[in-house]
């Protein structure tokens, strides 16, 4: 039986969304095939494990009876979980023997952005989802749009700046933004999801307010031309390399101008803790040619950033049925299970397939050569003068 480490929580504004995703994965994973090891990162950044982390109600009252503070070793092929050395001494103590596969369920910074994926790469452990580069590009909306623009994928007009530039000369920033874009605009933190910190600006006063909100969440701000009278259509992609498939398309409903954090999670989760279908139409009511276009663009968006596992790509559809890629979510909430149910993937089957993809990616990585014998050290006189 393979031991699966499910990682969730984290130092992120999307901490609670990650907990929900982690709990849903733990609830739905095939326990006849996998032994689940919950690894929870608190809002303070402490890494914890213990059986009480398997019970969702404990997160509501914050009472965990048996958790142990842990660390992961970055040593190659050391897939053990150790007690924190400050607790048990210099050399630590193994808490869990050899996690076979890591399944991250983080959202936002310090988890979805490639940081944790880098640890898994150093450990040489198979892990579900995008790699370091795909995760980081998918997280940074500016780099993501730069990459898509370079690959001729349709995106809305945008501009960006650093927080330091705003604090130094606000008038200059506003003038530059207004020169590049017309109102209305969307102002967003570049490295955040779940619609946190996003505001629509309809005039200069609104732009100033929106920027002041966004800079509280990130040092990098992106501003996009708003698509008026838009429909949002989302589609998930699963696979590795160019062997990818698409899910059904969805259309979120019951929102105005901005699909807020509350729209995405509070209203859709208030019944039973699972994402409800009541606030989304699946499959989306769109023309066949639009559906085909969106599915093909979703595949290209996924492949372009070297996507792995499952990602959800969010699209904007204007009143003339012109399609724009809004963003890619390399680690979508609830791993977008609701988009796959209509394609005969239960939540359990979806998790199983993602684990299989992780194993396939890891095996292919083993085909690479990681050393080159040149005897360079013995042929180099270090410190001597070269004539």
> Which tokens in the block code for residue 221?
């701000």
Any binding-site annotation on 312?
no
Q: Out of 135, 194, 247, 311, which one is annotated catalytic?
A: 194
Any binding-site annotation on 37?
no
- Taking the chain, what is the end-to-end CA distance rounded to the nearest angstrom? 61
Residue 14 annotated as catalytic = yes
Any binding-site annotation on 366?
no
Q: How far is C-alpha 34 from the chain's CA centre?
A: 24
Residue 157, exposed/middle/buried by CB under 10 A (0-12, 13-18, 19+)? middle
Any binding-site annotation on 224?
yes
Any binding-site annotation on 79?
no
d(CA 107, CA 8): 8
Any binding-site annotation on 56?
no
CA count, 13 A, side-chain hemisphere, 114: 14
In DSSP notation, 74-90 reads -STT---EEE-HHHH-T
Any binding-site annotation on 296?
no
> Which tokens in the block code for residue 184?
């209305």
Beta strands per DSSP E along 105-184: 158-162
7: preceding bond cis by omega (within 30 degrees): no
Any binding-site annotation on 242?
no
Any binding-site annotation on 16?
no
Helix 141-150 and helix 132-139, axial crossing angle in degrees, nearest 10: 100
Residue 144 near residue 305, CB atoms below 8 Å: yes
Any binding-site annotation on 229?
yes
Any binding-site annotation on 278?
no
Any binding-site annotation on 295?
no
d(CA 140, CA 134): 10
Q: Out of 12, 18, 247, 334, which one is annotated catalytic?
A: 334
Any binding-site annotation on 279?
no
d(CA 354, CA 298): 18
d(CA 357, CA 310): 10
Any binding-site annotation on 232?
yes
Rg for the chain (alpha carbons), in Å? Answer: 22
* Neighbouring residues of 194: CB distance < 8 A, sequence distance ≥ 6: 13, 14, 17, 107, 108, 261, 264, 265, 333
d(CA 225, CA 210): 14
Any binding-site annotation on 27?
no
Q: Out of 12, 14, 18, 247, which one is annotated catalytic?
A: 14
d(CA 102, CA 111): 12
Any binding-site annotation on 251?
no
Any binding-site annotation on 231?
yes
Indicate the annotated binding residues.
141, 186-188, 194-195, 224-232, 314, 326-327, 329
Indicate the annotated binding residues for Mg(2+).
314, 327, 329
Indicate the annotated binding residues for ATP.
141, 186-188, 194-195, 224-232, 326-327
Catalytic positions are: 14, 194, 334
């Amino acid at each position: 039986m393979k031991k699966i480490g499910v990682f969730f929580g984290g130092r992120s504004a999307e901490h609670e969304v990650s907990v929900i995703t982690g709990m849903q994965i733990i609830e739905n994973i095939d326990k006849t095939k996998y032994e689940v090891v919950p690894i929870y990162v608190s809002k303070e950044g402490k890494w914890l494990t213990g059986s009480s982390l398997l019970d969702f109600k404990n997160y509501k009252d914050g009472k965990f009876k048996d958790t142990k503070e842990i660390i992961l070793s970055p040593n190659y092929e050391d897939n053990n979980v150790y007690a924190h050395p400050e607790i048990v001494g210099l050399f630590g103590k193994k808490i869990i023997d050899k996690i076979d596969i890591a399944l991250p369920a983080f959202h936002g910074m310090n988890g979805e952005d490639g940081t944790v994926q880098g640890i898994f790469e150093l450990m040489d452990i198979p892990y579900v989802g995008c790699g370091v580069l795909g995760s980081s590009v998918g997280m940074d909306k500016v780099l993501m749009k730069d990459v898509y623009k370079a690959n001729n994928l349709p995106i809305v007009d945008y501009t960006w700046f650093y927080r330091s530039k705003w604090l130094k000369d606000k008038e200059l920033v506003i003038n530059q933004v207004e020169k590049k874009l017309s109102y209305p605009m969307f102002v967003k933190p570049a490295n955040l999801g779940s619609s946190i910190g996003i505001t629509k600006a309809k005039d200069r006063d609104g732009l100033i307010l929106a920027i002041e909100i966004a800079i509280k969440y990130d040092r990098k701000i992106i501003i996009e031309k708003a698509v008026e009278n838009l429909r949002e259509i989302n589609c998930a992609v699963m696979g590795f390399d160019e062997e990818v498939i698409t899910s059904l398309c969805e259309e979120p409903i019951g929102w105005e101008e901005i699909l807020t954090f509350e729209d995405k999670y509070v209203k859709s989760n208030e019944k039973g803790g699972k994402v409800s279908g009541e606030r989304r139409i699946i499959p989306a009511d769109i023309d066949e040619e639009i559906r085909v276009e969106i599915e093909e663009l979703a595949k290209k968006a996924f492949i372009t950033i070297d996507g792995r596992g499952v990602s959800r790509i969010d699209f904007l559809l204007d009143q003339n049925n012109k399609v724009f890629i809004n963003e890619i979510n390399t680690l979508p909430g609830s791993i977008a299970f609701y988009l796959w149910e209509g394609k005969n993937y239960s939540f359990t089957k979806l998790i199983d397939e993602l684990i299989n993809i992780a194993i396939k990616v890891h095996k292919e990585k083993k085909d690479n050569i990681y050393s080159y014998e040149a005897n360079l050290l013995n042929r180099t006189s270090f410190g001597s003068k070269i004539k």
